Structure 1
Amino acid sequence: MKLQFKVQQYQTDAVDGVVDVFSGQPYADGVKYRMDPGKAAAPTLVDDAGLRNAEIALTPLQILTNVHGVQRARGLELVKDLKDPVKKSAAPINLDIEMETGTGKTYVYIKTIMELHKRYGWSKYIVVVPSIAIREGVKKSFDVTAEHFQQLYGTKPRTFIYNSSRLHEVERFSSDSGVQVMIINIQAFNATGKDARRIYEVLDDFQSRKPIDVIAANRPILIIDEPQKIEGDAKKPSKSLEALAAFNALFALRYSATHKIQRTKVHRLDAIDAYNQKLVKKIAVRGITVKHLAGSSAYLYVDGLEVGKGADFPKARVELEVQTAQGIRRQVKRLSQGMNLHDISGGIEAYKGLFIRDVDANRDIVELSNGDMIGAGEVTQDVAEDQKRRIQIREVIRAHLDKERQLFAQGIKALSLFFIDEVAKYRDYDREDTLGEYARVFEEEYEAVLADFLGQLDLDDAAERYRKHVEAIPVRSTHEGYFSIDKRTGRSVDGKIAARGDFAGQSDDVDAYDLILKDKERLLSFEEPVRFIWSHSALREGWDNPNVFVMGMLKKSDNTTTRRQEIGRGLRLSVDQHGERMDNPVTVHDINELTVVTDESYTDFVTALQKEIIESLSARPRKASVDYFTGKQIKLADGTTSVLEKSIAQSLYNHLVRHDYTDDDGLVTQAYKDARADGTLAAPTAEALKPMIDFVWPLVDALYLDIPKPVDGRKPKKIPFNEANFKKREFQELWSRINHKAVYQVEFDSDELIKNCIRTLDKSLNVTVMQYLVEAGKQVVGLELEQLEAGTGFKVSETKVEHSAVSSGSTVKYDLLGEIAEKTQLTRRTCAAILTHINPGTFAKFKQNPEQFITEAARLINEQKATVIVEHLTYDPLDHRYDSSIFTENQAAQDLSKAGDKLKKSVYEYVVADSKVERSFVEKLDVSDEVVVYSKLPRGFSIPTPVGDYNPDWAIAFRDDTTKIKHVYFVAETKGSMSTLQLKGVETAKIECARKFFNSLDKTDVKYDVVTDYTELMQLVTA
């Protein structure tokens, strides 16, 4: 397998947040300097030149202005200056990039490196990481993305891991052109070991030079990965932070999900943003709770509840003690309402008089005849540690099989990860089979759970293919441990973990991570039998294979590892067998769900996790105020941006207060959240606010911490399929009309696009005048050769900023056509036709600020391109059709507690509504005399559009035996508001594309439209 990479806008936004800070910096492909050849160097080396990064030419004021522009565009608080909050600093300028775990921050900073080199010529970079584990993972990321970046930039970074015994690589880092990247873990230059000290020492094998001096002469740009693990905090900065200053960095970029020291933040993608944008997996939790029943000694563990088609459903999977020929054993039984536990147990006295009074799948509880209620995940007796671990292992296996069955047909391999306290629990070398306690329990439980699971599978082709796949994998081959290797014995051992200092809790053992980090592509293949992985010290710092879907926390909780760190290794979105990322926004969370199996209750785990997330968001604004809104930048419908003036900010704040959308403390109220969700927000009275009101709501949304709450992993269940409703003539007629697959094409006149672009550029293209810095200086008295060579022979006595209307082309080489062609995906010929026909005064703006000219021109051209595409889009239905199996196969489980009552006319027996609007719509449909049958269309049914696949909401068949109904077959999209401005731009485009798709079908008696409620639907079908 080969992992595939693609350009994603959210990652590009993070890159731009850094690159735009230096807008106006002249391009310089390195500055030559005379390298220190060392005392032992051969004479030929004296003339060799190094190639260091050019100095920053912008003034602090210019950089601050750029920073403010970046922060406004991202809704970040504006910094007052660029000063560092602590005296000890890695560089004069430190920029924070906040990115939630699993969103690809390593990819982002590699792309940032490439973009900085492309824009400004900077080529020397040092990536500093807190541990060997992360170092190995970063090097792997550089390797696997090299081809991708070669295609994007025509070059790729040359990387090496710093090693004090391979100092020739440092020499090459200094002398070679192109992008040079040194990766170094903090222990390599900030520890007491002999190897770590070598970087500061004059070395005979390095021509009597200090490696740190040779590195520092390059004026490298620092990339600090996980700085909170390196720098300490503002009150007590670590020694590592002081050590970073020795690199003499041009500036430092700090990438983390949890910055401890807040510096100049230029991008934020926190836990809430990542979840809402569907960039990480959603989380489900299966906890275990001990429930004490008064006066009862009966052991019961409710594993979960199942729904199905038969009269004896729902059923509960319950573990209880059973009298067998080998004595009393604990077994899992499927129990229905009315079953006698005393009989099921084989006559064990503790269960006498107990039977199942009710099995409630909506509330996920089992009610006993004595009135006691036991929820899924609850055990009725105190259980020993070994029994609790056995339950957890079983839960991991069951959760794995549930997820694996769903994903197998889609070509996605599911992996599960166990975290344990010590290797001996998994690997026991005193036994012939070398299986530790947990490994033996795993194999016992796996065989039992798999047999039960396969016995419940549907009898269809997809299920049969899955059955053959898992039955071909021996239990001994499907689990493996990844631990440190004892080099003397070759055996797995507990890794070497630092106990104190800056690196407490981190392993320095390279062998611990070889397989788990370097061969992760192999683990993603169906040909590799390993599906269950056991790990020890990698818990907090290394393993991030994208296809981890289940985690078993067999490791005891401690104070050094947070729940966020524990689950962070599994948040990355999964990939299929082709290495393609599963990030379709329609189905992303149906596929990407991480189930965490823990030994504490669901409530306790979720409460603690959400508390940690809230604490990590401490820097995020929470209160509405005039000051908060003033100066914020918003994007309007035409793609232009606007900065909120204080008068507009005042009007907006007054509007929120007037309608009780904020409370006395400025916090957003539930009234606002409900109105926002339902599309019923009050319209403003202030005239200046009216045209932009729909575009300022995201600023209000950003104020409340709507923390995504992990679901209870036992509650989601497959919704039973109503086969009788599906086979009704009316639904089959409707389905046969809409189940075409289709392709779209866009045929438009290039001249039309060119004319539109010329007109728009002449009317709307605005750029700011470029500034440049003028410095005056005097030669230093008593100048020495070393000062001249180092460029410090002159002292600046005066600086001033000038505005330029003259092209900076003498220092900055721009491929104008190439840049715009790349950003618009148009040919150079088309771009040339546009640019050569705009007014001379418009084109002259290129000289004022080339970079902004390119960016703004590309944006305006893309807007016109999008408009033309939608206008000229046509669909061609194919003979190939969607199979009806998409209604049953690979459908995600749903939380029935949100489903309402069982439905009579639906193809599914329950519908989980996305909103109050949808819930009301379903209730009216199900009791309507005019409706025969309807269905929430499955996620597998989608219409291709230029802006992404589109999945309509409903297919409805009305009675055809009345003249009242004009449109028997209807496909509907339900929305809380019909205001175009209250629909997202992409969503609006998809709806317009869907109209064209349904109009293209052979059968014209299918009507498609957007409705707000059932009343409006009836108006449309009777019109």
Structure 2
Amino acid sequence: MKIKFNPNLDFQRDAINSVTRVFEGQEEGNSRFTVSGIPETEFQLQEIGVGNRLKLLEEDILKNIQSIQIENGLRPDEILKSLDFTIEMETGTGKTYVYLRSMFELHEKYGFSKFIIVVPSVAIREGVYKSLQMTKEHFSQIYDNTPYDYFIYDSDDLPKVRQFATSQHIQIMVINIDAFRRSFTNPELEKKANIIHRSHDRMNGQKPIEYIQSTNPIVIIDEPQSVDTTNKSTKAIESLNPLCTYRYSATHIDKYHMLYRLDSVDAYERKLVKQIEVAGIQVDDAHNKAFIEVHDVSNKKGSPEATISFDQFKDGKVKRVKRRVSQGADLFEYSGGREVYDGYIISEIYAEKGNEFVKFGTDIYVKKGETIGGVDEDTLKRLQIRKTIDEHLDKELRLRPRGIKVLSLFFIDRVANYRQYDEDGNQLNGKYAKMFEEEYKKAISSPKYSQLFEGVDKDTIAERVHDGYFSIDTKGRGNSKVEYFKDTSGTTQADGDAYNLIMKDKEKLLDLDTKLKFIFSHSTLREGWDNPNVFQICTLNETNSTIKKRQEIGRGLRIAVDQDGERVYGFDVNTLTVMANESYENFAKELQKEIEKEEGIKFGVVEEHSFAGIPVLDESGESKNLGVEQSAKIYEHFIEQDYIDKRGKIQDKLRLDIKSDVVNVPEEVKEQKAQITSLLRKLAGKLNIKNADDKREVKLNKQVLLDEDFKQLWDKIKYKTTYRVDFDSEKLIENCAKALRDQLRVSKARFRYETSKLAMDRGGVHAGDPNQQVQTYDATDFPLPDILTILQDETQLTRKSIAKMLMDSGRLSSFTNNPQKFIEQALDIIKSEMRMVIVDGIKYQKIGDDHFYAQELFESEELFGYLDKNMIKAKKSVHDHVVYDSDIERNFAQAFEENDGVNLYAKLPAWFKVDTPLGSYNPDWAVVYENNGDKKLYFVVETKGSLFSDALRATEKAKIDCGREHFKALESGVAYEVADDFDRFLDVVEE
């Protein structure tokens, strides 16, 4: 099976044309130079070298660059700083294919024949070489068997360098930056330089670099953000004497002259890469052990400090909090007195870089990035492995009938977790390999997957579907040699062996007959290897993953291929599931931050040149671009329209006009309105917003506020009260026991498995609605807390009363399932019953004439609402608009305005509160009613959807009861009433 390449993909052709058009107008040809012959012979033999030649003027090159940039929607450069060019292409869109084919195009158009590909690592070097092998037949067909040679630079094979200089055919050298980064001009230090910079007998006393320099090679840098890391690297590139330099990456740091950009948003919107689905495993209700996570340790001010997370008991609930702590901090106190933290006093904070830790007591050490007391790490990793297997098998069911092989990739940080050895050097499964085989056997026993395993020995298949790709260390054992896998940095020669093995198997892995489907590799394998049919990526680090999200997902973004080697497009096939060590919301947020930082994408921002590439027809009917000057005018027009701010950030007003298709554009570009709006739609992102133009500040209606009727109303209701309670303790115990028996539902801790597909547009990275699966976490390795003491401290009830409630409830057996959850629920229930019993015996009393809400408070209040959303105009109210919270309140406000009997009314402000044992209570309305000159009536009205007690929540009913007692205690002649519609209120008025 061979991967096929499509020569007609428009985005790749656009990138290639952008590269070649830089030299439009260049004559075809090459340069000749003399290569030193072999001395001490009768005839002085000389060879003729062939190099690249450039005759184009700089001003012509700049014009070409500007034209390319405008067409590609990029900001045009004003001056030609150098012949360094940038091509930005999202991972998985074929940048290697693009730059390889660009070489042939540059040769065909201008005769350029010497090319050097500079790479940062062994992994990428092997990947490029594999691509050269895979595309050889493809390029031979396209370019009529144009002869070319390619090779990896090897300091032990210097004749290849001479061939590079003298051959008249296309020459492609792949070289690692480390092979020529060390160059010394001091002769005494020359032996420390790379061989390429040293004089050599096999090169007739010349330096290999001099042969390369003579050719004026076109240099292509793959992943420049990893190559151009130091000044030495920059000088090393310059030492090649390049005619020009093209840099290809998805994440550039230095942009130089940008020629083409296909960023992550473009790639996603055009479905050129897989859709990303984030899967996360969250743990709910597991607070029964002393959880501690060390985030950071520092010693900036001479006094070491650490940032840690721990569980804090507050207001009857346990919440995970993060705070800065110093030596001597007692987590028992910080946690709200939780017994599990007794003795967890910080005795040392050690800040040496690379070895940071926090010591608790005498023997508990937690390193930076580590966690203790949470869910058992191996349990969590086992579940990650199982869910990855399930996702894999589900995709196999769908995709195998279409001839698509499904692969899954596991990153691990220690080889020993996957592969171990006995004393004789025999391979043994590490813990992850054991987990995998056990979970795989369980998974395939499901009838759901029976069709995938017809005729397969299920007892042995688990051993054959996974393998590890790691660096190999050969060690002696007696008279034999044993090969061991080992941890390496990702840049050593040993890594080269591992990467080479993976690259050789790249196409073999895609064959349905190949049993291998699950690949375990060292976490340093972040770039340089990928396979189009990786559909799951799971990072099994012992601590939280330090791999950047863009690196992590990059291994699986390529569009899948079938058994014929053809790409299969569409998100129905191409979904990459990433098993993340965090929530999907956080993954999306952090991914957006990385994209903004690494790609320089400004989500939701218009730039001055954004419209320059829009095609228009000139007076002669020829097609041209709108241009930078006209684009800048549109930009300024949008600022004037308040569509964007001065930094180009899109405002809600523009989003609404886009949604309504009424975008206001300058008169001279009316014909291009559709194209401008289309571009803006991509930049604006989601449109589900409130209309900012409808936002209004609610102002006081002074005429009502100063009216004598309102003053009399306010004088009747403005006073504050206090309350006292009297209750039956036996009744409370009885009610609490019954409520605990009926309402207590204490489950064990749970794993919550959530998956959410990410969407990307110019507005940002968005997580969709999640799908959830729940699984019980059956843990019992935790101490049982003193429940009586905790409940006594929180409720102020006696231990005897609490013990009787718990015993009479019959629910104490649930305590051992999840002690902390039991305590939290029991507290909620007991406190709720206490409030109900207290309300039954509550008595309110007016505090005195000096304690009241001043009428002047209305003048200091700021109130806002949205027209046609949550506010209506008012004439009888103390405000010129009424801001309502529900349809019932809106209907009441409308009726107050329309009924002749209502003199005036007020929606009582949030600061008007009645104290109750259940928290403060804010009634809805104050009303003055007078019908046909009759006596004036004063009301406080609470509006509810139902008047039936059974339909009201217990706390709502209790607060209403307290409100009634409060206004009764004022003895001011104000009637407190509850109504579900205005007619019901009129019935009360009639009474």
TM-score for the superposition, normalised by structure 1:
0.55
Alpha carbons of 1:639 and 1:134: their partners in 2 closer, same or farther (altered >3 Å)? farther
Matched, 1:563 2:557: no
Is the deviation greater in 7-16 or in 609-618?
A: 609-618
Amino acid in structure 2 at the alignment position of 1:226: E
Query: Which residue, 281, 285, 289 being the options, matches 1:292?
Result: 285
The offset of 1:700, in angstroms, is 2.9
Query: Which residue, 580, 585, 598 being the options, matches 1:598?
Result: 580
The offset of 1:197, in angstroms, is 1.7
8 A contact 1:25–1:120 mirrored in 2: yes
Structure 1 residues 454-853: aligned runs within 5 Å = 455-456=447-448, 464=451, 467=454, 474-488=461-475, 489-497=481-489, 509-556=495-542, 561-583=547-569, 588-618=570-600, 623-624=605-606, 627-628=608-609, 631-634=612-615, 640-644=623-627, 646=629, 650=633, 654=637, 658=641, 661-663=643-645, 665-670=647-652, 672-673=654-655, 676=658, 680-682=660-662, 684=664, 686-701=666-681, 703-704=683-684, 705-709=762-766, 714=771
What whole-Å deviation, never above 9, does each CA across 1:993-1017 have from its counterpart, x for those lacking one? xxxxxxxxxxxxxxxxxxxxxxxxx
CA distance in 2, matches of 1:408, 1:471: 19
The offset of 1:604, in angstroms, is 2.6
8 A contact 2:278–2:580 mirrored in 1: yes
CA distance in 2, matches of 1:142, 1:45: 38
8 A contact 1:34–1:47 mirrored in 2: yes
Alpha carbons of 1:465 and 1:631: their partners in 2 closer, same or farther (altered >3 Å)? closer
Aligned to 1:927: none
Query: Which residue, 247, 253, 269 being the options, matches 1:254?
Result: 247
Query: Which residue, 138, 148, 152 being the options, matches 1:157?
Result: 148
The offset of 1:295, in angstroms, is 8.5
CA distance in 2, matches of 1:144, 1:716: 42
Aligned to 2:163: 172
What whole-Å deviation, never above 9, does each CA across 1:575-597 have from its counterpart, x for those lacking one? 001110112xxxx1111111111
Aligned to 1:810: none
Alpha carbons of 1:34 and 1:392: their partners in 2 closer, same or farther (altered >3 Å)? same
8 A contact 2:119–2:221 mirrored in 1: yes
8 A contact 1:128–1:184 mirrored in 2: yes
Amino acid in structure 1 at the alignment position of 2:585: T
Alpha carbons of 1:629 and 1:579: their partners in 2 closer, same or farther (altered >3 Å)? closer
Matched, 1:48 2:47: yes
Amino acid in structure 2 at the alignment position of 1:23: E
The offset of 1:465, in angstroms, is 6.1
CA distance in 2, matches of 1:685, 1:14: 31
Aligned to 2:931: none
Structure 1 residues 131-210: aligned runs within 5 Å = 131-154=121-144, 155=146, 157-191=148-182, 197-210=194-207
Amino acid in structure 1 at the alignment position of 2:676: V
The offset of 1:682, in angstroms, is 1.1
The offset of 1:652, in angstroms, is 6.7
CA distance in 2, matches of 1:430, 1:472: 24
Structure 1 residues 979-1018: aligned runs within 5 Å = none
Aligned to 1:880: none
What whole-Å deviation, never above 9, does each CA across 1:433-464 have from its counterpart, x for those lacking one? 61111100101111112212xx236xxxxx73
Matched, 1:447 2:441: yes
What whole-Å deviation, never above 9, does each CA across 1:646-691 have from its counterpart, x for those lacking one? 4675357536854x64356532235545665x6x411657543222
What whole-Å deviation, never above 9, does each CA across 1:106-131 have from its counterpart, x for those lacking one? 00000111110011000000000001
Amino acid in structure 1 at the alignment position of 2:662: A
CA distance in 1, matches of 2:44, 2:151: 23
Matched, 1:419 2:411: yes
The offset of 1:519, in angstroms, is 1.7
8 A contact 1:495–1:512 mirrored in 2: no
CA distance in 2, matches of 1:168, 1:231: 28
Alpha carbons of 1:612 and 1:624: their partners in 2 closer, same or farther (altered >3 Å)? closer
What whole-Å deviation, never above 9, does each CA across 1:734-770 have from its counterpart, x for those lacking one? xxxxxxxxxxxxxxxxxxxxxxxxxxxxxxxxxxxxx
Query: Which residue, 390, 414, 421 being the options, matches 1:398?
Result: 390
**Greater fraction of residues in strand:** 2
Amino acid in structure 1 at the alignment position of 2:143: Y
The offset of 1:522, in angstroms, is 0.3
Amino acid in structure 2 at the alignment position of 1:628: H
- How many corresponding residue pairs? 600
Aligned to 1:857: none
8 A contact 1:146–1:156 mirrored in 2: no
What whole-Å deviation, never above 9, does each CA across 1:531-559 have from its counterpart, x for those lacking one? 00000055322221111000111025679
Is the deviation greater in 636-645 or in 150-159?
A: 636-645
Amino acid in structure 1 at the alignment position of 2:207: K
The offset of 1:506, in angstroms, is 6.8
Gaps of 5+ in 1: 84-91, 298-380, 458-462, 499-504, 718-1023
Alpha carbons of 1:643 and 1:506: their partners in 2 closer, same or farther (altered >3 Å)? farther
The offset of 1:187, in angstroms, is 1.2
Amino acid in structure 2 at the alignment position of 1:127: I
The offset of 1:157, in angstroms, is 3.4
Alpha carbons of 1:293 and 1:434: their partners in 2 closer, same or farther (altered >3 Å)? closer
CA distance in 2, matches of 1:57, 1:621: 41
TM-score for the superposition, normalised by structure 2:
0.57
Gaps of 5+ in 2: 184-189, 291-372, 476-480, 685-761, 775-991
CA distance in 2, matches of 1:405, 1:176: 52
8 A contact 2:469–2:520 mirrored in 1: yes
The offset of 1:419, in angstroms, is 0.4
Alpha carbons of 1:441 and 1:559: their partners in 2 closer, same or farther (altered >3 Å)? closer
SS class of match (1:126) = strand
Query: Which residue, 77, 80, 84 being the options, matches 1:79?
Result: 77
CA distance in 2, matches of 1:394, 1:404: 15
Alpha carbons of 1:714 and 1:686: their partners in 2 closer, same or farther (altered >3 Å)? closer
Amino acid in structure 2 at the alignment position of 1:34: T
Aligned to 1:31: 31
The offset of 1:57, in angstroms, is 1.3
Aligned-residue RMSD, C-alpha: 3.2
Amino acid in structure 2 at the alignment position of 1:146: K
Query: Which residue, 231, 235, 251 being the options, matches 1:242?
Result: 235
Alpha carbons of 1:136 and 1:689: their partners in 2 closer, same or farther (altered >3 Å)? same
Aligned to 1:264: 257
8 A contact 2:51–2:214 mirrored in 1: yes
Structure 1 residues 213-362: aligned runs within 5 Å = 213-232=210-229, 237-292=230-285
Alpha carbons of 1:201 and 1:712: their partners in 2 closer, same or farther (altered >3 Å)? farther
Aligned to 2:59: 61
8 A contact 1:634–1:695 mirrored in 2: no
Aligned to 2:22: 21
Aligned to 2:887: none
Is the deviation greater in 5-14 or in 686-695?
A: 686-695
CA distance in 2, matches of 1:160, 1:118: 21
8 A contact 2:225–2:253 mirrored in 1: yes
CA distance in 1, matches of 2:612, 2:765: 29
CA distance in 2, matches of 1:517, 1:102: 16
8 A contact 2:149–2:170 mirrored in 1: yes
